[in-house]
């Protein structure tokens, strides 16, 4: 499937608010191909040459509903620096992922969040859980996995799984006080 900035559904389309359905496992060839293309988009989107050549916006994740397909499929690929100042890469091609636990401590990105489906800027803190545990099937390892995520990875996973419920990041911004500080929050 061709995935680029022109084929990604924008937030002006009510389809993006559709609730996504679980997929059957083992994955069908169609779902496997879709998830493979989604992962390739995320990887290619961070390569400046490919991004320019193929009209890709930089991304760390994408969910199937952003392509108009209401299935619980998402691809995530991020790099972050750990506490030992080492670069750690995370890549997941998930089917039917669910958050099974989350921390009371909150977290947010100091610079705010963005989304491939959102072209207009929405300023403010998107407050989420600082830690989450996600369970689902990962196509890359071909097994059911449990991801214990903290910080940036936790935020990215929550953002992508929100798409399954038709929720966009700016739905979490405090409309009256978009930059209201959150006590004891992990600020990234």
Which active-site residues does the annotation give?
160
Distance CA 153, CA 33 (A): 24
Asked if 146 and 66 touch (Cβ cutoff 8 Å), the reply is no
Reported as type and span, the H/E element at residue 85 is none
Distance CA 171, CA 116 (A): 15
Helices (H), the chain: 29-45, 48-54, 152-163
């Amino acid at each position: 499937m061709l995935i680029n900035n022109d084929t990604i559904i924008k937030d002006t389309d009510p389809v993006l608010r559709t609730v996504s359905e679980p997929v059957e496992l083992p994955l069908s060839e169609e779902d496997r191909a879709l998830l493979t293309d989604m992962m390739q988009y995320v990887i290619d989107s961070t390569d400046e040459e490919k991004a320019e050549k193929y009209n890709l916006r930089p991304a760390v994740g994408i969910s199937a509903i952003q392509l108009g397909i209401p299935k619980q499929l998402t691809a995530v690929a991020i790099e972050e620096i750990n506490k030992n100042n080492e670069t750690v890469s995370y890549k997941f091609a998930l089917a039917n992922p669910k958050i099974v636990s989350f921390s009371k401590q909150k977290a947010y990105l100091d610079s705010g969040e963005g989304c491939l489906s959102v072209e207009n800027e929405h300023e403010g803190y998107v407050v989420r859980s600082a830690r989450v545990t996600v369970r689902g099937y990962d196509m890359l390892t071909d097994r059911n996995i449990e991801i214990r995520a903290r910080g940036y990875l936790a935020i990215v996973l929550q953002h992508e799984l929100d798409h399954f419920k038709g929720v966009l990041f700016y739905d979490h911004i405090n409309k009256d006080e978009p930059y209201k500080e959150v006590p004891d929050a992990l600020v990234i």
